[in-house]
Each structure stands twice: as structure tokens, then as C-alpha cells.
Amino acid sequence: RYLKIFLLSCFLMACVLLFGRLLPFSHRLRGTSICLLSLFLSYLFYCALFPDGAIMQTSGDPTPSCHRADGAKRRLQKSLSCLLPSDARLSAVEASRLKADQRPHFAHHTAGNGTPSPPMSNLKFGNKKLPNAIIVGVKKGGTRAVLEFIRIHPDVRAAGTETHFFDRNYDRGLDWYRGLMPRTLESQITMEKTPSYFVTKETPHRISTMSQDTKLIVVVRDPVTRAISDYTQTLSKTPDLPSFQDLAFRNQSLGIVDMSWNAIRIGLYALHLENWLRYFPLAQIHFVSGERLITDPAGEMARVQDFLGLKRIVTDKHFYFNRTKGFPCLKKPESSGSPRCLGKSKGRTHVQIDRDAIEQLRDFYRPYNVKFYEMVGHDFKWE
């Protein structure tokens, strides 16, 4: 705009000098004619040089105008008045408040054709939603591996940490729970995992109250091996822990197992499943084999993707077997310098347990395992 005014001023001065030399009229007539003719010619040249330039706003409208520049390219000014009709423009104070309110939510971007693009929060980050699927158990069964593997899928977003909402934080309310979830698009599935849910009596009812359509994933493992893994993890944190046999048996010589010890109680899958089936149909619960998750991670994850209604994108090309950890790891992404393996607490060497104690525990779990196989319609071959 200022460049245009400058050019017109120079043109007017040239007109004054030119007509001052050429016109032979009296001084008074010459001055009037020069002014009128110069203004008229300036307007004509203004229109000829800048055919798409808008006339400057009148003094009666204090808000800046939105104008076009460089022919076909439109530029919106930074003022909020560009986004509002002329009869609904805000005062300076109101406009600044509106900008402050909108800043955390989105920023406007202008596309190449001049059309403002959608708000970035909706385009890029989506919204926080309650989970569509939950990995509810079991502890030391392989839940972290399932979560990390399924998060490779572009249509899955998951909370990174265990929320413990339905067993420890239920009184905080669903809004608090929703706030822990990642932002997802409409086409994406929201997930979380908290292994203690499967053995918590109140959890099935609470989840069904949230949504009866929630899909549930349970990662199960040979209950004897799972109990030893559970004990090994606890021992790493509490070195003065009593021996495994002292905790597992009330009387080992008689083969009486202490069912009150949590490491033993978790492996009674049939008893826990009975509680879940009061609120959810069996078709809504998918069981992952912890053993096959190690030997055939791609096959197990294919079944998980089918259960969730996802396209099979996580395949064998994503995995390799880490012989040191004795566990599958994710292959190195192109943007990373190293492969992704689970943490040091995963795949640790188990403590050595007396062989007789292991056989006694297998005898104890056998009837519960058989009942579990019958309930789910699948033999996990833990015998």
C-alpha cells in the first residue's frame, strides 16, 4: 500500500512539472488545471497499474480490511476481523480474549488456494476417548509385549502406563480416566492395559458399566511358570523374601497349596473367568497364549488384530528373536538406530525351584486348567 502511494506521489510531481512547462494559461488557471488533471490521471494510472488492489478503507471503519495481493493469491490478515462478517466484528479487547481462548486448541493455516485448513488439533491429534479395548490380564503373562506389539499398528493408540482405574482409582471418575488416554482419530482404537483387572472382583461390572461393547484381551500362561516368574520379579525388589516353597505351600509334605498367596491365586484362571462371564459374552474376550507369543509372535498378533477388527499390518517382518533375552523383539525402525526390546525386567532368568515342588503345583493346577480349557474352547497344553 505504501509503495503504491509513493509511486503515485512521484507521478503527480512529474505531472505538475510537465504541465507547468507546456500549458500557456495564466498562473491561476494553470495551477487549478494542473491539480485537477494530475489527480484524474493519477487515478487512471492507479487503476491501470493495480487493477486488483482494494480501495483503502474509510475512516468510519476502524478495523483493518482483508485484501488480495499479487493477483490470484489471497492473504488473510492476522486480525480476527478477517474471520468475522463486517456487522459482527469484535472490539479490540474482545478479539484479544478470543485469540487467547483459541490459542491452546488450534492455529489457523492457509492452504495454497486461500482456504483455511482444518484446526490442527482435530487434524493431527484427534480427541481423547474411553478405551475400545483393554488388556485386563494377566500379570507376568506377556501383557506388556502384546501392548508394545499392537502399538505398531497405525490404527491403535494406547496409554503408555497402567492406569489402574477400575481397581484402584475408580472413585476419580470417567473424566479422569479419559484424560489418561492418548488422542485418537475416529478411525483409531484406544487401548490400555492393567493386568490386575482380571483378578479384581469389581472390575468386570465396572467396565461393563462404562461400555458393554468393550473388547477384552487376556494373556494367559502356564500358571506354574507364571507363579515362578511372579516370585522372581518380587524377589528382585525384596531380597529378604521367604523361599518360593514357603510362600506357595501351607504344608509341602502334604501337598497343601496356599491359595491365598497372590502368585498362586492369579493362576486360577477358570475361577476368575466365571466372574467375567457374568458381564461379558465369551466372544468379547480374546485369550492370547503367552507361550506362543514367544515362539510365534506374528501368529498371535494376527489373531489379536482379527479380534480387534484391524487389518493385519503387524506381521513376521516386524519381529526377530533375541537369543540373549530369550524373547522376540521388534526389528529396528528406519528412523531408529537400534531394535526395540522390552525392558530389563522382561525375560529375566527365573530362580531355581525344587522339581518336586513344581510337580506338586502342576497337580494342584491341573483340574483348574482343564476347566479353563473347556470354558474357552481351547487347549493351551500346559500339562
Sign of CA dihedral 252, 258, 259, 264: negative
C-alpha to C-alpha distance for 356 and 367, rounded to whole angstroms: 19
Tell me how long the chain is. 383
Residue 365 identity (one-letter amino acid): Y
Residue carrying the nine cell digits 500500500: 1
11 CB contacts (<8 Å, ≥6 apart)? Answer: 41, 42, 45
Is the bond preceding residue 138 a cis peptide, omega within 30 degrees?
A: yes
C-alpha to C-alpha distance for 288 and 146, rounded to whole angstroms: 9
Q: Helix crossing, 355-376 with 269-276: angle to 10°?
A: 30
Q: Identify which of 156, 67, 150, 160 has the alpha carbon closest to the alpha carbon of residue 114.
A: 67
* Catalytic, out of 139, 140, 193, 215: 140
C-alpha to C-alpha distance for 160 and 162, rounded to whole angstroms: 7
Which residues define the annotated binding site for 3'-phosphoadenylyl sulfate?
A: 140-144, 221, 229, 346-350
C-alpha to C-alpha distance for 167 and 205, rounded to whole angstroms: 11
* DSSP β-bridge partners for residue 288: 219
Q: Which helix (H) or strand (E) holds 133?
A: strand 133-137
Examine the residue annotation and report whether 325 is marked as an active-site residue of this protein: no
Residue carrying the nine cell digits 494559461: 25
Q: Which three cell numbers stand for residue 149?
A: 506389539
Residue carrying the nine cell digits 498371535: 300
Catalytic residues: 140
